Structure 1
Amino acid sequence: MRTIVITGGTDGIGAGLARHHLAQGDTVVAIGRDEVKGAALARLGGHFVRADLSLVAENLRVVDLLKSRFEAIDALILCARYFRSHRYETVEGFEACFALEYLSRFTLSHELLDRLEAAPAPVVLNVSGPGAPKPEIRWDDLGFCRGYSGVEAQFHAGRANDLLGLAFATEHPDARTKYILVNPGSVASSFAGEFDPETAALVQRMKRVATPVDRIVPHLAALVDAPPADPVSAFAVSRRVDPRMSEVDDRAAARLHRLTTGLLRH
């Protein structure tokens, strides 16, 4: 029986993966904000940890909690997302999308490495957007203080996650943990967020043509069950793609790692 930790584990893809792993007999810990959905998961045999992962302090609290309960974590699955049409800054001073969809994943990936390494075949599955065209990192404006767009903010966080995967492998060259970036495509998930009317209409159109969650879950679960041998890999659903967008990505990954480490120290 494995221990599977899933952020965003009460909604959409995360909830689908939680149900799948519970059916396999795994211990599942879902991290999210919705206590009602968390209680529903608990009735299926899962564990729910309520946390606002857009806050660094909450991520560190979750790390401490998980370490107190589990000696080993077999898989860390990162799914938490929340769309905002209008820019929002957390009480810690970070733009909310960057905080939830990148800083949280950075923190959990690195801080839980010791528990991952204690498992026989550890894996981090970062559900993001590898293989899709994305803008470069806004090196002088990571928090989108200028020209905020909810869509662009999510693409920006996706680009940061591409680089997170590369930097993770570089920072931990002796680790057995495999880091997998996966783009699930357009999925009929919960589309959690706060939308302006134009974006809300777009979301409704997307829901009508998107892939049902239950059809995408087997592809993602297969990566957890049999990760590639490479330290970092990337997939568009089940198709292997290059985790790098250009030949300078490794340098960009190292730069972003340094910047992120500095941000989290303040």
Structure 2
Amino acid sequence: MVVSGGTSGIGEALAHTYLKRGDRVAVIGPNPDKGKSFLAAAADLGAEERAFFIRADLSLVSENERVVQEIEERFPVVDALVLCARFFRSYRRVTSEGFEHNFALYYLSRFLLGYGLVGLLEKAPSPVIMNVAGPGVDAGGIHWNDLGFEHGYDGWAAMFQGGKLNDLLGASFAAEHRGYRTRYVLNFPGGTATGFAGEFDPATAARIQEMLRYANPVEVGIAPIVAAIDAPPAEPLSAFFEGRRLSTRLPSFDQQEALRLDALTRELLAR
């Protein structure tokens, strides 16, 4: 199992769950201290030989490409890819490669890791990509002419757009013409008490604290994710929101928009 954002929050909880069950787990994160903590916890479980930490800033295209190469060199197969890395920003930030940070981390990274590791996933008996996002949300929209929010940036709008981009990513990945065996699952388990990573203005910080008051314990939050990893749905694409299954015929998964986004993404990366 490979888990992006696996040193904190839901990703960390999933990583420890599967280590305890005897699986090999590689987590990706930017903080070396959190990586050491993950490996130390694995050692306490007697699982040090099954735990791996890959340090990377996944907001950078080059780092995602390096991670894919490292995983290909170290592991013959990947059974599950879990995509959790996300970081809320109240204030707009651009990466050194020229991409708006939320767009780069929440969407581009998931695009690059999914397609980059699909060769190893296809070798597994029941491969799955678990994209922990926010499928089917009506709020906001896609700013097709300004994906990086150069004009009128808003942290919540950027986050909601990221969720919609991931819906279309799932639809494109699972399209019939690709022919992958790998199942693509979009899953929002609801608010969990693991925190909410980000850099907040005062109003947003207050809103986050209020949300956390009603959040579920992490063991409750990860239960439906674990279930879908262990027994991936038969359909190429499936989506769940707080335990409720969504129709993939919703506008969020429109095939024409998915193809449009896929072409635009590849054009941006080619530049």
Please indicate the TM-score interval, normalised by the length of the shorter structure: over 0.9
Which amino acid in 1 is paired with 2:13? G
Q: Which amino acid aligns with 2:160?
A: F
Q: Given the superposition, is the C-alpha separation of residues 96 and 171 from structure 1 closer, same or farther in structure 2, using an over 3 Å criterion?
A: farther
Equivalent residue for 1:230, pick from 221, 229, 235: 235
Contact 1:122–1:176, Cα closer than 8 Å, also in 2: yes
Q: Give, in angstroms, the shift of residue 42 of structure 1.
A: 0.9
* Partner of residue 82, structure 1: 87
Q: CA deviation at 1:244?
A: 4.2
8 Å Cα contact 1:136-1:156 kept in structure 2: yes
Change in 2 beyond 3 A, CA 1:201/1:136: closer
CA distance in 2, matches of 1:155, 1:248: 15
2:45 maps to none
**Distance change in 2, residues 1:107/1:182 (3 Å):** same
TM-score, reference length from structure 1: 0.96
Residue in structure 1 matched with residue 193 of structure 2 by the alignment: 188
3-state SS of 2:251 partner = coil
Residue 190 of structure 1 and its aligned partner are, at CA, apart by 2.7
User: Residue 132 of structure 1: CA displacement?
Assistant: 2.0
The partner residue of 2:36 within 36, 39, 45 is: 39
Structure 2 counterpart of 1:260, from 250, 261, 265 = 265
Amino acid at match of 2:135: P
Runs of 5+ unmatched residues, structure 1 = none
Summarize the Cα distance change of 1:56–1:247 in structure 2 as closer, same or farther, 3 Å threshold: closer
Residue 212 of structure 2 corresponds to: 207
Contact 2:168 / 2:253 at 8 angstroms: preserved in 1? no
**Matched residue, 1:221:** 226
1:14 and 2:19 correspond: no
| CA distance in 2: counterparts of 1:172 and 1:10, whole angstroms | 35
Superposition deviation, residue 71 in structure 1 = 1.0
In the alignment, the residues of structure 2 paired with residue 148 and residue 261 of structure 1 have an alpha-carbon distance, to the nearest angstrom, of 24
C-alpha displacement at 1:131, in angstroms? 2.7
**Larger mean Cα displacement after TM superposition, 70-79 or 180-189:** 180-189
* Deviation (angstroms), 1:192: 1.1
Amino acid aligned to 1:64 = Q
Q: Which residue of 2 aligns with 1:174?
A: 179
- Select the residue among 54, 69, 78 that pairs with 1:73: 78
Partner AA of 2:104 in structure 1:
A
TM (norm. structure 2) is 0.94
Between the aligned partners of 1:181 and 1:67, the Cα distance in structure 2 is: 24
Deviation at 1:135, TM superposition (A): 2.7
- Deviation, 1:201, is 1.1
Among all aligned residue pairs of Structure 1 and Structure 2, give the percentage whose two residues are the same amino acid.
Answer: 51
Please report the RMSD computed on the Cα atoms of aligned residues, expressed in angstroms: 1.3
Cα distance in structure 2, aligned partners of 1:209 and 1:62: 36
Contact 2:68 2:117 in 1 (8 A): yes
Alpha-carbon distance between aligned partners in 2 of 1:186 and 1:16, rounded to the nearest angstrom? 14
| SS of match in other structure, 1:170 | coil
Paired AA for residue 209 in structure 2: Q
Q: Tell which deviates more after alignment, 150-159 or 199-208.
A: 199-208
* Uncovered stretches (5+) of structure 2, i.e. residues with no partner: 43-47
Q: Which amino acid aligns with 1:203?
A: I
Equivalent position amino acid for 2:239 in 1? A
Q: Is the 8 A contact 2:136 2:164 kept in 1?
A: no
Q: Helix, strand or coil: the match of 1:126?
A: strand
Give 1:172 shift.
5.6
